[in-house]
Each structure stands twice: as C-alpha cells, then as structure tokens.
Amino acid sequence: MSSENRTDPSPRNLALAILALAFATIGGAWIYEAMGYLPCDLCHEQRYAYYVGVPLAALVALFANRLGKAAPLLFIVLGLIFAANAVLAVYHSGVEMKLWQGPTACTGSAMSGPANASDLLAQLDTVKVVRCDAVSLRVFGLSLANWNIFISLALAGLGFWGAAQAFRRADQR
C-alpha cells in the first residue's frame, strides 16, 4: 500500500475542478451579458484570467499524467493567475464602494468633454460607457466583482493545492 492519502484528489481531478469552476464562472458572465448587463472595463480585465486559465486547466487535465515535473509549475501558474485576478477584483470592489478612484475611462471623471453641442449629441448616440464605480447587478447582495474575489481565491487555492499534489506525485515516482 502506498503512503499516499487516498482521500487526496489527483492533480488531474484538481485541474478538472479548476476547469469546471472557471468555465462556469466565465459562462455565467457571458449569460449576464446576453441578458443586457454589460461589463465595464474592469470587468473585461477580470475576464482575462479565465480566458487564459480555462484552456490551461484543460491542458493540465488532459495531460496531467504525462507532464511530469512540468505539472506542478503549470498548477502554480494557474494559482498565480487567479490570485492576481482576486487582487484585481478587490480593486474593482473598492472602486464600486467608492473607497478609491478607479480608471477615468469608466468612472465618470473624464478629463475633457466634447468641443460643442453637436459633438456631444453624436457622442451620446455612439458611446455607451459602463461605469466601473456603479454596480449594475447584485446576486445575493454581492456585486459580480465581489463574487469574483471569492471565486478567484478558490481557483487560486485549487491551483496551489494541485501544485502540492503534483509535487508529491513527482517525488513518489
């Protein structure tokens, strides 16, 4: 009998968990967008972690048993991607709560306006600015940026747990 704890999930299963949670999260964001809840600039930036993390988690899940010593490093990359995304989500949440100023492009504090009234009317017809400092949707009392903090932290934790499991498996070989 091996010294491995049989209750510990395999690196492949942890990669599948990351893949499922990350895909469900970005899928949910797309559904809300299709329902008319347009994302702001900071929301778009928070999606990049999912656009990178989903395919990376899929690759790790598919090839976990063949990656050898690269598997722990890929899990660490996943953990870092989602940890950084959690930091971005905290920043966005702070902007929503008016704790600090957000980017001028999406907080309503643009430096210069249109030169004349006709330019203003043309701008109003063509530009739809979604404000980063205004919550357009709350789910169970939390904004989507708030939820992204918890989801990204969970994904980061799964990534680092996957790295630990992959290191352990590599040491046993």
For residue range 112-144, list pLDDT tens digits in order. Answer: 555 666 666 666 666 666 787 888 888 899 998
pLDDT reported for residue 115: 62
* Alpha carbon separation from 158 to 26, 81, 89, 94, 105 (Å, rounded): 17, 12, 18, 25, 34
Angle between helix 70-96 and helix 144-172 axes, rounded to 10 deg: 170
Q: What are the beta bridge partners of residue 143?
A: 138
The reported pLDDT for the residue numbered 65 is 75
CB within 8 A of 29, min separation 6: which ones?
Answer: 39, 43, 47, 50, 144
Q: Note the pLDDT of residue 30.
A: 94
Query: φ, ψ for residue 114 (rounded to 5)?
Result: -65, 155
Query: Could you tell me the pTM of the whole model?
Result: 0.81
pLDDT tens string for the chain (173 positions)? 445 556 778 889 999 999 999 999 999 999 999 998 888 889 999 999 999 999 999 999 988 777 777 889 999 999 999 999 999 999 999 999 988 988 877 765 544 555 666 666 666 666 666 787 888 888 899 998 999 999 999 999 999 999 999 888 766 65
Collapsing DSSP to helix, strand or coil, 142 comes out as strand
CA distance 136 to 151: 19
